[in-house]
Structure 1
Amino acid sequence: MRHPQTRALHAYWQTRRHGGAAPLRADIEPQDISELLGYVFILWRADSQHHLFRLAGTHLCDLYKREFRDQNFLSLWRGHDRTHVQAVLEASISGTSPASMVARAVSMDQRELPVEIALFPLRGPSGEIDRMLGLFQPLDSTEGFKGRPVVRTALREIHPPVQPGTIFPGLAQPSENWVQRVANDQ
């Protein structure tokens, strides 16, 4: 995790776990992360193909010039990127371990904004891990996007959950070159 805001949310998530696999959604207090809220989002896993936004920060909505509530997070991605993002989400939820990605947010006039997307599993009201706390953190100034919506999101790097075999069952470890291969698929 590159950005200080991402590391801060990770540290907060760790403290809210209280020794468990993942914190309850109810344990996440907005006032505790108030400086991050503009780019914070929460997803609910309806099924493996549908990770729906339950909450999306105002800065995130402003970048895309749309409201995200009840929209599928996977709809932000195309082709192989969508497949990779789905695999990372599922691995993070099933392994109760954070994951992150670096992507490019692209406007219609081809302006690009590098972003880091961090994902932290959460337990819902039933105790089942079916939620994801996320941060869509720009890695550069958003000034060039004033009035220009993001129309495409493209993966650059994937940093999958750390536990072995979660994305590719049977493998002792995800390949160290996996991140680079994903970037080269573009």
Structure 2
Amino acid sequence: MRHAQSKALHAYWQARRFGGAAPYRADIEPQDIAALLGHVFILGRIDPQHHVFRLAGTGLCELYQREFRDQNFLSLWRGHDATHIQAVLEASLGGVSPASVIARATTMEMNQIPIEVCFLPLRGPEGLVDRTLGLFQPLEPVETLRGRPIIRTSLREVRPPANPGFLFPRQPLRDSQNPAMVANDQ
């Protein structure tokens, strides 16, 4: 993670794990990260294609000039970028490991700023790792956008999780009813 705010949120997430794989959502106290709240978000995973905003900071909403509650985070991205972001989110949750990306935020007038988005997995009330604590951190002054809303977010760099989870369940090498080797076994 590049920005000091991203590093601060990551350190907080690490401390709230209490030696476990991921903290519970209930372990995240807003007053502990008050300086970051404007750009903090929490996503809830509905399924692989839907990581829905449960919370979005006012700074994030102001950048896009819209509310995000109950919106799909993947809708901020287009085409292959959306596919890559989905893969990063799924791998982060599956491996219970932080990840981040660098992107470019662009207005209709083509004013642009780089942003860092970090993803930190969380446990929901049932104990499942199905939430993401995130930070949408501009890397340059937002005044560059001249008060205009971001209309496009383009992926520039991916920092995948150190321990990525599997996007698809592993298939057994042998069929349980037919113990013969499958064609691509070695």
Give the TM-score taking structure 1 as reference length: 0.88
Task: Return the alpha-carbon distance in structure 2 between the equivalents of residues 41 and 79 of structure 1.
Answer: 23
Matches within 5 A, 1:6-25: 6-25=6-25
**How does 1:13-162 map onto structure 2 within 5 Å?**
13-162=13-162
CA displacement 1:81-126 (0-9 Å, x = unmatched):
0000000000000000000000000000000010000000000010
Q: Secondary structure at the match of 2:154?
A: strand
Name the SS of the counterpart of 2:102 in structure 1.
strand
- 2:174 is aligned to none
Larger Rg: 2
How many residue pairs match? The answer is 170
Which one-letter code corresponds to 2:52 in the other structure?
A: L
Question: In the TM superposition, what is the alpha-carbon distance from 1:163 to its structure 2 partner?
Answer: 1.8
SS of corresponding position for 1:87: helix
- What is the TM-score of this pair, normalised by structure 2? 0.88
Deviations 1:126-148 (A, max 9, x none): 01001000000000000122430
Unaligned runs of 5+ in 2: 171-186
Change (3 A) 1:154 1:47: same
Offset of residue 168 of structure 1: 9.0
- CA drift of 1:165 comes to 6.9
SS of 2:161's equivalent? coil
Distance 1:83 1:164, change over 3 A: closer
Alpha-carbon distance in structure 2 between the residues aligned to 1:60 and 1:164:
27
RMSD over equivalenced CA pairs, Å: 1.5
- Give the distance between the partners of 1:7 and 1:135, measured in 2 at CA: 10
Letter paired with 2:129:
I
**What do the CA deviations read for 1:132-182 (whole angstroms, capped 9, x no partner)?**
000000000001224300000000000000126746999xxxxxxxxxxxx
Residues 147-186 of structure 1: pairs in structure 2 closer than 5 A? 147-163=147-163, 166=166
Structure-2 separation of matches of 1:164 and 1:105 = 26
